[in-house]
Structure 1
Amino acid sequence: MILNKTSFFLAVLAGLFTTQVNAQTPKKFPTKTTKKVLADTLKKKNAADTTKGKELKSYADLLKKAKTANGLFKVHQVESDYYFEIPLKLMGKDFLVVNKISSVPLALNESGLNKGMNFENKVIRFSQNKLAKTIWVKTIVPQVESPEADAITRSVKDNFIGSVIESFKIEAYSPDSSAVVIKMNRVFDGTDKSFNDVFTDVGLGTAPKTALSAIEQIKSFPQNIVVRALLSTRVTEGQNSIPISMAVTTNVLLLPETPMKPRYADDRVGFFTTPRWYFSDTQHKMEKRELLTRWRMEPKAEDRARYLAGELVEPEKPIIFYIDPSTPPQWRQQIIAGVVDWQKAFEAAGFKNAIQAREVKDIADYDGDDIRYSEITYAASPKSNAMGPAVIDPRSGEILESDVIWWHNVMTSLQSWMRVQTGVIDEGARNNKFTDARMAHAIRFVSSHEVGHTLGLKHNMGASYSFPVDSLRSPSFTERMGGTASSIMDYARFNYVAQPEDKVTSITPKIGLYDKYAIAWGYRWLDVKDPHDEIPVLAKWIKDHENDPLYFYGEQQSSNVIDPRSQSEDLGDDAVKASRYGLLNLKRLIPQISTWAANPGEDYYQAGKLYMAAIFQWLTYAEHVTANIGGYYLEKPVAGDHKNAYTPVPKAMQIKALDYLKQEVMEVPDWLFNKDLLLKTFPIKDSPAGPYEYAPYNVRREFQYGVLYSLVSQERLLRMMEMEVLLGKDSVYTANELLKEVRETVFAKTQRGKTLSITDRMLQQNYVDVLLVSTDKMLEKITKTSLQDNKLKMQNQLQVCDFSNDGKSVVGAEEKSLRNIQVSSMSRTSDVAAAKRSELLQILTILEKNKGRGDDATKGHYLDLILRIRQSLRMN
């Protein structure tokens, strides 16, 4: 028996008392009688310690002044204290704690944190500790499954236990002893952070000030409890200390007793997923699967035979979105239309009336933070964006609730895109303010795109590649196929390819063939019990369309694009041709900017912003084209489909792309810098410090530099070398060919002894600096890192932008980037460093040979470049 500190002290004290009554008496051990007295004393003391502070109160006395709400379990409010009466039958059941932001101050609003966002969701279980008269709360990660009868299941239970995050004293039992009463204040009022740690999770890194935080309201419903609290803190930035208060709503949701039957993901169809590990006695290794995140879409039992016979039937439970009552009335019907547009996709899966959108009629009884409602939340914010997160049951991938977060200022982005991309062909998209009808039409497209995410769909950046460029100039094709791409999940904004004479009117993205196919693939109900039995059926559905580009899925990539077919903001199957059409429209647009964006009596601020948007569109075209150079067509082949995982972009296409860059970037076009417009306004870009006016020479230099740096980047050249090693230099476009062609273009006038203009000199300065900076960066000394540092780096790489295991989506990072293709290990010992240094030496030879030719500015320019190269290469 181990004594506690108090008992041990009493025991020692008792021993001293019995052995030191007479100081002259020799010390001796306690007698049997003394031992009995001591044991009785300790027994009484331990009993007192066990029950101290844990005496049960009378249910009637505890709650005699309570206001009680019935629901999932009873919630009792006694003045400012809140008690949960949890039935014992719910002990050990799975609950999902969902934390949502309900209101924020200006300081957080400006940073893009708004009402409707959820954070730190977790699965919990309540359990009773009868001996200690407490209720424990454990959090679990329900990622593991094994057959109950298998021997390995004992090990699974031991190796994947839940962690205790909270303990509550049992205040009382219900009169029939079927439930326990616990006081819950401290996990919601900011005292403890076990249920929500909002200030840490949003990146403030502070704790709530309990004196300034409190529970505002608790509601109880049949499947969930809703707790709203105001939490306050103070954030110090430099010399400033800023008070911050946020309202947070926490839902405690009882998860379904029987999880939805999962569906296993296939990388060739773009769904969000949640991981699942399977253990069994018969395995040779653990089975890893990714479960689709999707709604539970099942035919009613009485309709299943009709469904399997091919009839459209209504689902057991439709998906219903509610329109935030804060939404301006003029946008509501088009937002609703953007939701209902998905009904055609669900009909491809066999369901009618499967997805609906409704306005809220009874505002008094409506709470958008209640997890029973999926809401399109309208956030009054300067942020220009929208997002579609979902709350997931991680046991099965079931989407339990979704919220589209709609920031008010997303309309500024829509207006900018439409004016720049389609203003030339659509007179209604030219003014500083659109008509409500025009803006509502654009809002419908954004609504459909974000709802697609809430249905589980990832971006499909390869969908736009499925349309031939010239077909985007056809009124009949664009009307029949639905706008700009085969999927609304692409970022194929508006039709910048169509020319004024084409008379194309279907210029906005719509739900397309891929979307209907993906929803059918993910949602069509199959009458099987084991998800493994679905695999061959799902594979056949993919095989039926595997060579049709309209059904191609191209994952979203990072800024380092590898597959040029899957790019953001691009259109058509030929980036060079599409960009040239886009340039024709930009040439028409720029002379009109001051007319479109500055009415009589107005300043040119809006014109300057439109001008900057047009220049960024020019840069976007250059980036689309550049991605083809050193690019790979990436596939996810399976045995028998005769596809390759990696195919270099054809050499002819890469040369074609470089020709575009030589003409449109290395020779920055003068029409982009219209003198009449520049005398009225420079390009303007807003910032937290106010508008910045970008001078034209600065813009030319900065944007040209960025494209050149990307063109000869380490990653791009290494990818080209990988294909040279794999396929042979005669079969691919090589890095050396690229560098030689760029050098000869950049220094063509120098080789001919011509005097250089300021823009000629700018190009050479930019290119030499790109080579110097990128080479120095590649060869800089590598600092030592510990094994632990490397391990953490690898973990961070693997966890970026993924759905977490606890049933929530990561805010602001909705999906994985494309495959991790490693080409840059030990790059300082690769041929890239040698090739770039060789280029610098060859450029140095050209400069030395021509340093005395041209006017004074040209000669000074050559001497400056010679000095820079020699200093960088440490040459005398």
Structure 2
Amino acid sequence: PITYYLDPAIPAPYREAFREGGNWWAKVYEAAGFKNAFRVLDLPADADPRDVRYSVLNWVHRTNPGPSYAGSLEDPRTGEIIRAMIAMDTWRSLVDYNIWAGTVPASGANGPNVDAETFAMARRRQHTAHEIGHSLGLQHNYIASTQGRASVMEYPFPFITLDANGRPDLRDAFRKGPGAWDTLAIRLGYTWFPDAGAEQSGLDRIMRDGIAKNVRYINDRYANANGSIPFVTRWEEGATPFEGVQRTAGVRRVLIDNFDERAIKPGEPMHLLNMRFAHVYLHHRYSLEALSKYVGGMDFTFALRGDNQKPTTVIPAADQRKALGMLLDAISPKELTVPEKVQRLIPPPPPGFNTDQTWINGSGDTMFDAITLGGGLATEVIGYILDRDRAARVVHTAATDTKALSLTEVTDAIVQ
């Protein structure tokens, strides 16, 4: 079987989270028709983690921002993956903890309904599966989150809702296993065929199966802020961006209204609230980016002649106008305002403080700068709307459709 090994330096509870998340691929391979094809083991005590015979998940400690990443060594003659090399960073868990801690004040006397460790380890299981997926040859699939979490190769944002009492519900924050696209990709990349003819027809069958089940794939190139597909955005969750903005904006409002010193532990510097409030205030940020892609939006597929996929579909004008209105509502003064009680809670950092943990900066020096924070969010949203590629698509569409959203309509809506 394909075997990955855990760096002995990985501490508990990360070790078990990495093992469990890595072994999601055993389920994928089995669903793709391969039994006993994948496993994650502890690195033998006498093994060298740089030995080419061992594919290792390495533990990388950071006190500042940095990525996890995965690569592989391949036989140039055949393309066979000889060894995978994965670096799992520690900083990621600080980000996850900050998100969790930001929900504490709004969660009531008993705290969040998921504890911090459970929340963080759920993310790290998915994170492990994601990085291993890269080393197996898979790219990002940024449409998967809107297809029922169809892949671990997405960038997931925690799916937080409000319960019946209006408190944050973290129980479904992260996916709990692999998805349909993961299985399709492994079938496509790993199924063995006896000859070239059988390979071509076999791969065609696999692709037709994916198309019939509407298992879609859109990669990095089209997930940027200037993209045209609303459903393709990093760090966004939900069936549609409309739903995503409604949910995240609702959660954000509850978190802002309840935010106070309970977001840090007794004895911790009050300045840490800066970092915690950043996640609260920008909770809907990526959903807004996704929503902006309705404006001048166009869905598309990587269609081949004869595969019956529709190459392009312009987003309906009604959806474009609805999205524009929601975007402008999101940057109204009411939505941009930081409560005075929050501004007065956050002092400058104490001596020796890691400034990588100061995430909200501004022009007030020692005073928390709520004006720059709100202005930054407004500038970001307006930048999404007026992106030059997006504006060009609005013009192109309006040139052939008199009922389409026009660029004049967009600019008038902004300045009104």
Fold conserved between structures, TM > 0.5: yes
Which of these residues, 664, 676, 701, is aligned with residue 375 of structure 2?
701
In 2, the alpha carbon distance for the partners of 1:724 and 1:642 equals 27
SS at match of 2:178: coil
- Give, in angstroms, the shift of residue 680 of structure 1: 0.8
- The amino acid that maps onto 1:738 is V
- The amino acid that maps onto 2:401 is K
- Give, in angstroms, the shift of residue 690 of structure 1: 6.5
Determine if contact 1:590/1:672 at 8 Å carries over to the other structure.
no
In 2, the alpha carbon distance for the partners of 1:449 and 1:733 equals 38
Task: Name the residue aligned to 1:656.
Answer: 322
Task: Name the residue aligned to 1:733.
Answer: 405
In 1, the alpha carbon distance for the partners of 2:105 and 2:35 equals 38
In 2, the alpha carbon distance for the partners of 1:687 and 1:325 equals 31
- Give, in angstroms, the shift of residue 447 of structure 1: 1.0
In 1, the alpha carbon distance for the partners of 2:355 and 2:213 equals 44
Task: Name the residue aligned to 2:366.
Answer: none
> Once the two structures are superposed, what CA deviation does each residue of 1:511-562 show, in whole Å capped at 9, x if it has no partner?
1122122212222222x222x531222122222231534x111212334222
- The amino acid that maps onto 2:202 is V
Which of these residues, 126, 141, 160, is aligned with residue 460 of structure 1?
141
1:722 corresponds to 2:385: no
Task: Name the residue aligned to 1:326.
Answer: 9
Determine if contact 1:348/1:517 at 8 Å carries over to the other structure.
no
- The amino acid that maps onto 2:30 is E
Task: Name the residue aligned to 2:210.
Answer: 545
1:590 corresponds to 2:256: yes
- Give, in angstroms, the shift of residue 428 of structure 1: 6.3
1:635 corresponds to 2:307: no
In 2, the alpha carbon distance for the partners of 1:456 and 1:361 equals 26
Q: Per the alignment, do residues 574 and 558 of structure 1 end up closer, same or farther by CA in structure 2, a change over 3 Å counting? A: closer
In 2, the alpha carbon distance for the partners of 1:331 and 1:560 equals 36
In 2, the alpha carbon distance for the partners of 1:689 and 1:488 equals 28
SS at match of 1:494: coil
Q: Per the alignment, do residues 735 and 435 of structure 1 end up closer, same or farther by CA in structure 2, a change over 3 Å counting? A: closer
Task: Name the residue aligned to 1:390.
Answer: 72
1:368 corresponds to 2:49: yes
SS at match of 2:3: strand
Higher mean C-alpha deviation, range 681-690 or range 326-335: 681-690
In 2, the alpha carbon distance for the partners of 1:438 and 1:616 equals 19
Matches of residues 782-801 of structure 1 in structure 2 within 5 Å? none
In 1, the alpha carbon distance for the partners of 2:311 and 2:329 equals 33
In 2, the alpha carbon distance for the partners of 1:514 and 1:543 equals 13
- Give, in angstroms, the shift of residue 424 of structure 1: 5.8
1:617 corresponds to 2:289: no
Task: Name the residue aligned to 1:581.
Answer: 247
1:500 corresponds to 2:150: no
Which of these residues, 26, 29, 33, is aligned with residue 346 of structure 1?
29
Task: Name the residue aligned to 2:218.
Answer: 554
SS at match of 1:389: strand
- Give, in angstroms, the shift of residue 645 of structure 1: 2.5
Q: Per the alignment, do residues 536 and 347 of structure 1 end up closer, same or farther by CA in structure 2, a change over 3 Å counting? A: same
- Give, in angstroms, the shift of residue 566 of structure 1: 1.1
- The structure richer in helix per residue is 2
- The amino acid that maps onto 1:395 is R
Output the TM-score relative to the length of structure 2. Answer: 0.86
Determine if contact 1:608/1:683 at 8 Å carries over to the other structure.
no
> Once the two structures are superposed, what CA deviation does each residue of 1:549-603 show, in whole Å capped at 9, x if it has no partner?
4x11121233422222111111223212221111111111123332432344443
- Give, in angstroms, the shift of residue 719 of structure 1: 1.7
SS at match of 2:13: helix
In 2, the alpha carbon distance for the partners of 1:529 and 1:421 equals 56
1:414 corresponds to 2:96: yes
- Give, in angstroms, the shift of residue 670 of structure 1: 4.7
SS at match of 1:545: helix
1:669 corresponds to 2:330: no
In 1, the alpha carbon distance for the partners of 2:337 and 2:354 equals 20
Determine if contact 2:274/2:358 at 8 Å carries over to the other structure.
no
SS at match of 1:342: helix
In 1, the alpha carbon distance for the partners of 2:102 and 2:311 equals 37
Determine if contact 2:336/2:374 at 8 Å carries over to the other structure.
no
- The amino acid that maps onto 2:198 is D
In 2, the alpha carbon distance for the partners of 1:592 and 1:683 equals 22
> Once the two structures are superposed, what CA deviation does each residue of 1:180-221 show, in whole Å capped at 9, x if it has no partner?
xxxxxxxxxxxxxxxxxxxxxxxxxxxxxxxxxxxxxxxxxx
Determine if contact 2:72/2:81 at 8 Å carries over to the other structure.
yes
Determine if contact 2:150/2:178 at 8 Å carries over to the other structure.
yes
- Give, in angstroms, the shift of residue 420 of structure 1: 5.2
Q: Per the alignment, do residues 424 and 463 of structure 1 end up closer, same or farther by CA in structure 2, a change over 3 Å counting? A: farther
Q: Per the alignment, do residues 659 and 541 of structure 1 end up closer, same or farther by CA in structure 2, a change over 3 Å counting? A: same
Matches of residues 820-859 of structure 1 in structure 2 within 5 Å? none
In 2, the alpha carbon distance for the partners of 1:563 and 1:454 equals 27
In 1, the alpha carbon distance for the partners of 2:396 and 2:385 equals 17
1:513 corresponds to 2:180: yes
SS at match of 1:410: helix
Which of these residues, 85, 93, 97, is aligned with residue 403 of structure 1?
85
Matches of residues 311-322 of structure 1 in structure 2 within 5 Å? 318-322=1-5
Determine if contact 1:629/1:654 at 8 Å carries over to the other structure.
yes
SS at match of 2:5: strand
Matches of residues 236-255 of structure 1 in structure 2 within 5 Å? none
- Give, in angstroms, the shift of residue 686 of structure 1: 7.0
In 2, the alpha carbon distance for the partners of 1:419 and 1:547 equals 43
Which of these residues, 513, 522, 537, is aligned with residue 189 of structure 2?
522
- Give, in angstroms, the shift of residue 377 of structure 1: 0.5
CA RMSD for the aligned pairs?
2.9
- The amino acid that maps onto 1:511 is P
> Once the two structures are superposed, what CA deviation does each residue of 1:637-680 show, in whole Å capped at 9, x if it has no partner?
12233433332221111111111022111x13357512211111
Output the TM-score relative to the length of structure 1. Answer: 0.43
SS at match of 1:669: helix
Determine if contact 1:384/1:411 at 8 Å carries over to the other structure.
no
Q: Per the alignment, do residues 519 and 425 of structure 1 end up closer, same or farther by CA in structure 2, a change over 3 Å counting? A: farther
- Give, in angstroms, the shift of residue 445 of structure 1: 1.8
- Give, in angstroms, the shift of residue 438 of structure 1: 4.4
> Once the two structures are superposed, what CA deviation does each residue of 1:349-386 show, in whole Å capped at 9, x if it has no partner?
22222111111242xx3211111110000112224431
In 1, the alpha carbon distance for the partners of 2:112 and 2:124 equals 14
Q: Per the alignment, do residues 615 and 641 of structure 1 end up closer, same or farther by CA in structure 2, a change over 3 Å counting? A: same
* Aligned residues with identical type, % of pairs: 21
- The structure richer in strand per residue is 1
- The amino acid that maps onto 1:463 is A
Task: Name the residue aligned to 1:839.
Answer: none
Higher mean C-alpha deviation, range 625-634 or range 379-388: 379-388
- The amino acid that maps onto 2:3 is I
- The amino acid that maps onto 1:499 is L
In 2, the alpha carbon distance for the partners of 1:358 and 1:422 equals 36
Task: Name the residue aligned to 2:122.
Answer: 441
- The amino acid that maps onto 2:227 is V
SS at match of 1:608: helix
Determine if contact 1:386/1:405 at 8 Å carries over to the other structure.
yes
Determine if contact 2:394/2:407 at 8 Å carries over to the other structure.
yes
- Give, in angstroms, the shift of residue 692 of structure 1: 5.6
- Give, in angstroms, the shift of residue 713 of structure 1: 2.5
Which of these residues, 20, 36, 42, is aligned with residue 337 of structure 1?
20
In 2, the alpha carbon distance for the partners of 1:688 and 1:602 equals 16
Determine if contact 1:637/1:643 at 8 Å carries over to the other structure.
yes
